Chains A and B, each alone.
Chain A
Amino acid sequence: QSVLTQPPSVSGTPGQRVTISCSGSSSNIGSKTVNWYQQLPGTAPKLLIYSNNQWPSGVPDRFSGSKSGTSASLAISGLQSEDEADYYCAAWDDSLDGVVFGGGTKLTVL
């Protein structure tokens, strides 16, 4: 059972917009910034969004992040087949005194 809660799977068709939710608590998302990772099959995770809504260099702005209260969301617009991957949210947790991850969401592009 992960500290941050994500839907196990989402799907969409090419060109569509999809969102992935991440629910936490006051000790993590409610008081800390949220980061999102993309993990393509067989590869290491890649930082996709940091500090709730900032892009690392090279990440297209089709990916966007937001946070409200104890929840966060990742939106992917103009869905492409290469976006098919697992997506994880993460934040620091003051109660656990460490990084907590969501359980991951598998995105399928139909």
Chain B
Amino acid sequence: EVQLVESGGGLVQPGGSLRLSCVASGFTFRRYEMNWVRQAPGKGLEWVSYISTGGSTIKYADSVKGRFTISIDNAKNSMYLQMNSLRAEDTAVYYCARVHEGISSSALDYWGQGTLVTVSS
């Protein structure tokens, strides 16, 4: 069974940092492209970042570029999102999501349960 489990969310002050983790199981992690997607409370979905298999290609939304860093560790079947210089508008549930193999990078076929990040003083 495919599973994606996020962790690392919590309450952080503006300007602070957090590192989110996404641990994958039930599939060959190194073969799949991955994304982070967030959802602010009561709002819609917002794409955050993409990473290709092996990590050779990385993309970010303009809203997080220069502040967030995506990475993967195939040995640990894990993806990470290092978030620095956090702002109130980064408050959201953060989901990791797997790209449907061989399909567009916007076709996300499995999602984690999400981890809540709250940026507030």
Contact = CB atoms under 8 A, between A and B. Distances in A.
Interface in A58-110: 86, 88, 90-92, 96-104
B121 interface: no
A46 B97 CA distance: 10
B50 interface: yes
B46 A101 contact: yes
A104 B35 contact: no
A90 B100 contact: no
Contacts, number: 77
B45 A37 contact: yes
Given A90-B106, A92-B106, A99 B47 contact: yes
Contacts of A100: 47, 106
Interface of A: 2, 32-33, 35, 37, 39, 44-47, 50-51, 56, 86, 88, 90-92, 96-104
Interface of B: 35, 37, 44-47, 50, 59-62, 95, 97, 100, 103-114
24 contacts: A33-B103, A33-B106, A35-B108, A39-B45, A44-B112, A45-B97, A45-B108, A46-B111, A47-B109, A50-B107, A51-B107, A86-B44, A90-B106, A92-B104, A96-B62, A97-B59, A98-B60, A98-B61, A99-B35, A99-B106, A100-B106, A101-B46, A103-B44, A104-B45
